[in-house]
């Protein structure tokens, strides 16, 4: 191809405009959502490892998705149902935002995630930014996860 004879692009200029708007927009909300999801998945892995010990090795050979890991944690009863429901909503929100080009999570979207944790709901009502709401949610959620590590260790030792 002659570098001086570059063909005109074959895409919708409106799509290009959306892309550039996304690049220019402060998009911390996506970053916070992705990090919350990633951190959640990390802890699902740790819970499964703590609970299963060496029996986890066959699972390591399989590339489990977030939803599958969550189903395993649920089936072993490692987290309360409110946490499981909340993490399912978090996963759906993450998928919605990363698979739709111009979607960003709103405070209302994140409230659907946090509303599953009943004790957290009153605290969340006063928070009106996605990053701050996700930070508070993660702190609350991982209180549950910490308690579950203790439970997993006791079950492993039994």
**Banded pLDDT at 2 (limits 50, 70, 90):** low
pLDDT at 5 over 60: yes
Can you give 68-84 as a three-state secondary structure string?
A: HHHHHHHHCCCCCHHHH
72 — pLDDT class (breaks 50, 70, 90): very high
For residue range 103-117, what is the model confidence (pLDDT) as tens digits?
Answer: 788 899 999 998 888
| pLDDT value of residue 152 | 56
Task: Give the integer Cα–Cα distance in Å for 157 and 60.
Answer: 22
Q: Are 70 and 44 in contact (CB under 8 A)?
A: yes
Q: pLDDT digits over 117-143, tens only?
A: 877 666 777 888 888 888 888 888 877
Higher pLDDT: 27 or 38? It is 38
Q: Is the pLDDT of residue 17 over 90?
A: no
Extract the tokens encoding 46: 């740790």
- ∠ CA 116-120-124, rounded to 5°: 100
């Amino acid at each position: 191809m002659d570098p001086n004879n570059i063909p005109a692009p074959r895409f919708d200029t409106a799509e290009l405009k959306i892309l550039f708007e996304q690049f220019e927009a402060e998009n911390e909300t996506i970053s916070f959502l992705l990090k919350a999801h990633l951190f959640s998945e990390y802890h699902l892995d740790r819970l499964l490892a703590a609970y299963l010990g060496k029996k986890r090795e066959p699972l390591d050979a399989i590339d489990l998705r977030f939803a599958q890991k969550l189903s395993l944690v649920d089936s072993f009863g490692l987290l309360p149902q409110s946490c499981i429901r909340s993490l399912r909503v978090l996963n759906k929100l993450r998928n919605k935002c990363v698979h739709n080009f111009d979607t960003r999570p709103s405070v209302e979207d994140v409230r659907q995630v946090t509303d599953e944790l009943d004790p957290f709901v009153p605290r969340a009502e006063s928070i009106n930014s996605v990053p701050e709401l996700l930070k508070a949610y993660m702190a609350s959620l991982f209180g549950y996860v910490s308690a579950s590590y203790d439970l997993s260790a006791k079950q492993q030792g039994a």
